[in-house]
Chains A and B, each alone.
Chain A
Amino acid sequence: MRCDEFISRYDLENAVCLDERLVLVKAENTTEVSEKLLSLSPRYSTCVGIDYRPINRSYLVHHVLALDKYGLYLVLEARAHDPDPVVESITNLFPAANWHEREVMDMLGIKFIGHPEPYRLILPDDWPEKVYPLRKDYPYDRKPVELAEILERPTPRNYTVSIRRGSSVSEAEIPLGPYHPALHEPEYYELVIEGERIVEARYRGFFVHRGMEKLAESRLTVNQVAFLAERICGICGYTHATAYCQAVEEAADIEVPARAEYIRGILLEIERLHSHLLWFGVAFHLLGFDTGFMATWRLREKIMDLAELLTGNRKTYGLNLVGGVRRDIDESKAHAVLEALDFIEEKFKKLVRLVMGMHEIIARTKNIGILTREDAKKLGAVGPHARASGLDIDVRRDCPYAAYKYVDVSVPVMDGCDVLSRILVRFEEIIESVRLIRVFLREMPKGGLMAEYDDIPGLRIGIGVTEAPRGEDIHYVVTGRENKIYRWRPRAPSYMNLATVPHMLVGEKLANAPIIIASIDPCFSCTDHVVVIDRSSRKKIPLEKALRET
């Protein structure tokens, strides 16, 4: 549905079309408007706080809601003003907004009235009060002040998510994380166990903050940000670069040549193949099935070679600029891709059939790590994780971009809600990716690779959405003047999926925790050390002491 039709049909007040698929609703009363919108069953996507004071002396808060059924994105705008910027929280209506609103509170100092857990999320505990790094008057290269003094204060332990069911007398606490010597993206889980069963799961994240948004907004030019965006993720970077470029292209009305869109599509699917194969390997490894891990990664290596052939690099493709791509795919390269795909498809199908015939794999995954459809919807789960819980969403089909505009995508949905379903969904997706690459290569039209455009106009809003291997990846851009970006807010899919993990862990056996955490395909990291708790005093004892005394 086009967005002007949508506005007239649902009689939205103060709504304007920003683009074919982007509606902006300016709300005096956010809660009231959100309540009205609930009837459309939107999916909460992200929240962007913008320091707009240099332009019109106010702060903007943009809640982005996805209307998958209509293929539209809706931006709900609220305003706040100095000296005490305040807006209404909508977390009670959209539980998935919880982290997003807290992030805006941390980074811009805009208060969300009525937020159920208004604690710090992104900034470290020792960060000084009332210092907001994403405000425009905070220089990008300033270091936080007076850290030493603040370090002496007691640190609050505000968990990002904490879920508990049942009560018990004989508990032990097992920390997973926060740092892994080999893998990036530290995550910290604290699991309270009674015997073998997890009775309480707490998650704390956001240990790494790279300051990418600030860097992009202050130091880099429009095309340079595409390369920074690619470095958000160590596995699915190209999808971020594509989402960013699409956001700028939408904001500046740049028409990308069809051939460039097809090339983007091919590379996005190649990235999905390598990412899913990587995940299969990691999952097998965590199930103690290292032969399977090696066998999958051997296949994945072929995909990495393909990426190197097409782009000049195994992983960071670096092919996107605003307006198109930088390299063509010629006949000989296309032929090499098709040949490799035949080999990979045959081998992979055989491999998975054999693995699924193994009793132990099924026993370790079936009915393990349940995330109900209701929870998945409530918490805003995306990607294969959501599709394994029966949610039929996929950006490639619902809000098509790049080459998916021209080709139908089949979306596998399962309702097992367990780890096994997540394996099967990803298996189907690999088969579909292989098919899509073949179709793209066959139907790719001739033509240019790069759109011609003048200076990018300032203060325009654009949203770039892609279906990353892990789910919906959304980039929100406000263009700036003089070849700069005024505000850039990328939201990766794991942001949504991580909040669901504690819900899946409670009630499970401890031995299943690694595969449950990995089943959402985060960049998994864990260390397996133990904290021993003295039951009577509830205090932690150093491990060496505990070992000596027993």
Chain B
Amino acid sequence: MVASRLAFIKEVVGKPVTEQYPYKAVAVPEGFRGKPVIDPAKCLGCGACANACPPGALSIHDEDGYRVLRLFLGRCIFCGRCQEVCPVGALRLTREFELASTSRDDLVQEVRLVLEKCSMCGKPVATRREIVFVEQMLPADQRWLVHLCPECRALVSAKIIGYVRGCNR
């Protein structure tokens, strides 16, 4: 009985394995899913990330002529779906994991982008960057349509179709 215990102790005793964290930094591997960060210089404000985000940590809303993308880390599950769906690579998961804070504000990142107004009715359409991004993908003669809100665009399109078919009375 004593022999079996001795053999066990002999097997398990070795160098300490406890890491001296937080006195010594702990390395995380490449590809670790840590704190997400939005690059305000790249963000279009399209909302693809907010749409994909499972816990609703990313949200998007319009206020006073601005589109606001808000990231609240208190809800984030670090899945990285936002990084996957962002069309311009503005969202990126970093390897940072020490997020504890005494202030709630430290867990919030907001990006505010100017909204362009509809060239006909003046309602907000989309962010200026989003419009430029879409314009580049369209043929030159259709680009002006992007500056209209969906309702005005439908109205204008209907008028054009009616004109072409000759029933513009």
- Chain A positions within 8 Å of B, measured between CB atoms, are 220, 223-224, 227-228, 231, 291-292, 294-295, 298, 301, 308-309, 311-313, 316, 318, 326-327, 350-351, 354-355, 357-359
Whether, in the assembled complex, B133 has its beta carbon less than 8 Å from a beta carbon of chain A, the answer is no
Task: Tell me whether A354 and B4 are in contact (CB under 8 A).
Answer: yes
A312-B32 CB under 8 A given contacts A227-B54, A301-B17: yes
How many pairs of residues, A versus B, come closer than 8 Å at their CB atoms?
Answer: 64
Q: List 15 A-B contacts (CB under 8 A).
A: A227-B79, A291-B8, A295-B12, A298-B12, A309-B31, A312-B29, A312-B32, A312-B93, A313-B78, A316-B78, A318-B77, A351-B11, A351-B12, A354-B4, A357-B4
A318-B79 CB under 8 A given contacts A294-B12, A312-B33: yes
Complex interface: chain B residues within 8 A of A326 (CB): 80, 84
Cα(A294)–Cα(B5), bound, Å: 15
Choose one: B17, B80, B93; the contact of A298 (CB below 8 Å).
B17
Task: Tell me whether B4 and A359 are in contact (CB under 8 A).
Answer: yes
Task: Tell me whether A355 and B32 are in contact (CB under 8 A).
Answer: no
Task: Tell me whether B12 and A312 are in contact (CB under 8 A).
Answer: no
**Bitwise interface map of B from 75 to 119 toward A, beta carbon under 8 Å scored 1, else 0:** 001111100100000000100000000000000000000000000
Closest to B53 in A: A224
Closest to A350 in B: B11
- Chain B positions within 8 Å of A, measured between CB atoms, are 1, 4-5, 7-9, 11-12, 17, 28-29, 31-33, 52, 54-55, 77-81, 84, 93
Closest to A316 in B: B77
Cα(A537)–Cα(B52), bound, Å: 61
A291-B12 CB under 8 A given contacts A224-B54, A313-B78: yes
Q: Which 6 A-B pairs have the closest CB atoms?
A: A312-B33, A224-B54, A227-B54, A357-B4, A295-B12, A318-B79
Complex interface: chain B residues within 8 A of A354 (CB): 4, 7-8, 11
A291-B32 CB under 8 A given contacts A228-B54, A354-B4, A358-B4: no
Cα(A313)–Cα(B79), bound, Å: 9
Cα(A357)–Cα(B8), bound, Å: 9
Cα(A318)–Cα(B83), bound, Å: 13
Cα(A338)–Cα(B79), bound, Å: 26
Closest to B33 in A: A312
Closest to B1 in A: A359
A358-B5 CB under 8 A given contacts A220-B54, A326-B84: yes
Closest to A359 in B: B1
A308-B54 CB under 8 A given contacts A291-B9, A355-B8, A357-B4: no
Closest to A226 in B: B54
A308-B28 CB under 8 A given contacts A291-B12, A354-B4, A354-B8: yes
Cα(A309)–Cα(B31), bound, Å: 7
Cα(A224)–Cα(B57), bound, Å: 13
Complex interface: chain A residues within 8 A of B77 (CB): 227, 231, 316, 318
Question: Nearest Cβ in chain A — how far from B48, in angstroms?
Answer: 13
Closest to A313 in B: B33
Question: Nearest Cβ in chain A — how far from B141, in angstroms?
Answer: 32
Complex interface: chain B residues within 8 A of A298 (CB): 12, 17
Complex interface: chain A residues within 8 A of B4 (CB): 354, 357-359
Question: Nearest Cβ in chain A — how far from B40, in angstroms?
Answer: 24
Complex interface: chain B residues within 8 A of A313 (CB): 32-33, 78
Question: Nearest Cβ in chain A — how far from B99, in angstroms?
Answer: 14
Complex interface: chain A residues within 8 A of B11 (CB): 295, 350-351, 354
Cα(A501)–Cα(B130), bound, Å: 60
Question: Nearest Cβ in chain A — how far from B135, in angstroms?
Answer: 29
Complex interface: chain A residues within 8 A of B54 (CB): 220, 223-224, 227-228
Question: Nearest Cβ in chain A — how far from B10, in angstroms?
Answer: 9
Task: Tell me whether B33 and A318 are in contact (CB under 8 A).
Answer: yes
Complex interface: chain A residues within 8 A of B79 (CB): 227, 318
Cα(A301)–Cα(B31), bound, Å: 19
A318-B29 CB under 8 A given contacts A224-B54, A354-B7, A359-B4: no
Complex interface: chain A residues within 8 A of B12 (CB): 291, 294-295, 298, 351
Q: Which of A223, A318, A351 has the most CB of B within 10 A?
A: A318
Cα(A355)–Cα(B84), bound, Å: 47
Complex interface: chain A residues within 8 A of B1 (CB): 358-359
Question: Nearest Cβ in chain A — how far from B76, in angstroms?
Answer: 11
Question: Nearest Cβ in chain B — how far from A339, in angstroms?
Answer: 14
Cα(A354)–Cα(B80), bound, Å: 43
Cα(A327)–Cα(B81), bound, Å: 12
Cα(A291)–Cα(B5), bound, Å: 10
Task: Tell me whether B33 and A309 are in contact (CB under 8 A).
Answer: no
Cα(A298)–Cα(B52), bound, Å: 37
Closest to A354 in B: B8
**9 further contact pairs, Cβ within 8 A, besides A294-B12, A316-B77, A318-B33:** A227-B54, A227-B77, A291-B12, A295-B12, A313-B33, A326-B80, A354-B7, A358-B4, A358-B8
A308-B29 CB under 8 A given contacts A227-B77, A294-B12, A318-B79: yes
